[in-house]
């Protein structure tokens, strides 16, 4: 359980880094016709989804009898919902982009990945967010 939490926690930086890298390439419009970073960024979010689902069944921070408490509500509902919306957006963006010509592909990735990144940033229990019990690693 502890290993899982640390993997999920540390992987956030891989996800954020890959998303930023993908967005930078999409923004620069450099031909990344075969760019693997779009794929790797999406896959990293899918790995987080799998780890997150496992944590969701095991973590003591998920507790449905405590829905009135903002701390539990965050892990019961907000973290999960935000992340799933972001991952769906990134996955739709990737699949749409795959079938497009280069110019359109970059635009699509820029839009969907940027939206996804913003939602992910807003849904992470950062240590500076009061009372969510998050850590940096
Ligand atoms: C890109 C997607 C995601 C990112 C970047 C992410 C990131 C994080 C981070 C940084 C933490 C705090 C860890 C700590 O402070 O030690 C966390 C905790 C948690 N996440 Fe996620 N998460 C993602 C998706 C998900 C999903 C989809 C689920 C559920 C299906 C989920 C379930 C959880 C749970 C249950 C915890 C609490 C674990 C515990 O400390 O017991 N996460 N997540």
Boundaries of domain holding 55: 2-123
Looking at the domain assignment, is residue 60 inside a domain? yes
CB of 105 closer than 6 angstroms to any ligand 1 atom: no
Residue 131 lies in a domain: no
Q: Domain for residue 137, yes or no?
A: no
The alpha carbon of 106 is separated from its chain's Cα centroid by a whole number of angstroms, namely 19
Q: 3-class DSSP state for residue 126?
A: coil
- Structure token pair of residue 131: 């009372």
Segment 101-136, tens digit of pLDDT: 887 899 999 999 999 999 999 999 999 998 898 999
For the cut 80, the answer to whether the pLDDT of residue 42 exceeds it is: yes
Number of structural domains found in the chain: 1
Q: Which range among 20-24, 33-37, 73-77, 115-119 shows the weakest confidence by mean pLDDT?
A: 33-37
Span from the CA of 31 to the centroid of ligand 1 (angstroms): 34
Select from 48, 27, 11 the least CA-distant residue to 35: 27
Q: Give Cα separations from 80 to 56, 74, 84 (angstroms).
A: 8, 8, 6
Measured from the Cα of 62, ligand 1's closest atom is 35
Q: Is 128 domain-assigned?
A: no
Those residues whose C-beta lies under 8 Å from the C-beta of residue 7, and which sit 6 or more positions away, are 51
């Amino acid at each position: 359980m502890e290993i899982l939490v640390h993997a999920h926690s540390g992987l956030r930086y891989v996800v954020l880094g890959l998303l930023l890298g993908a967005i930078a390439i999409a923004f620069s419009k450099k031909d990344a016709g075969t760019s693997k970073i779009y794929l790797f960024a999406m896959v990293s979010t899918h790995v987080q989804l799998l780890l997150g689902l496992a944590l969701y069944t095991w973590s003591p921070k998920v507790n449905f009898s405590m829905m009135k408490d903002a701390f539990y509500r965050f892990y019961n509902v907000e973290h999960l919902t935000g992340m799933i919306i972001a991952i769906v957006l990134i996955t739709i963006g990737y699949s749409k982009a795959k079938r497009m010509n280069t110019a359109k592909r970059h635009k699509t990735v820029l839009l969907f990945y940027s939206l996804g990144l913003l939602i992910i940033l807003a849904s992470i229990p950062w240590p500076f967010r009061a009372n969510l019990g998050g850590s940096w690693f």
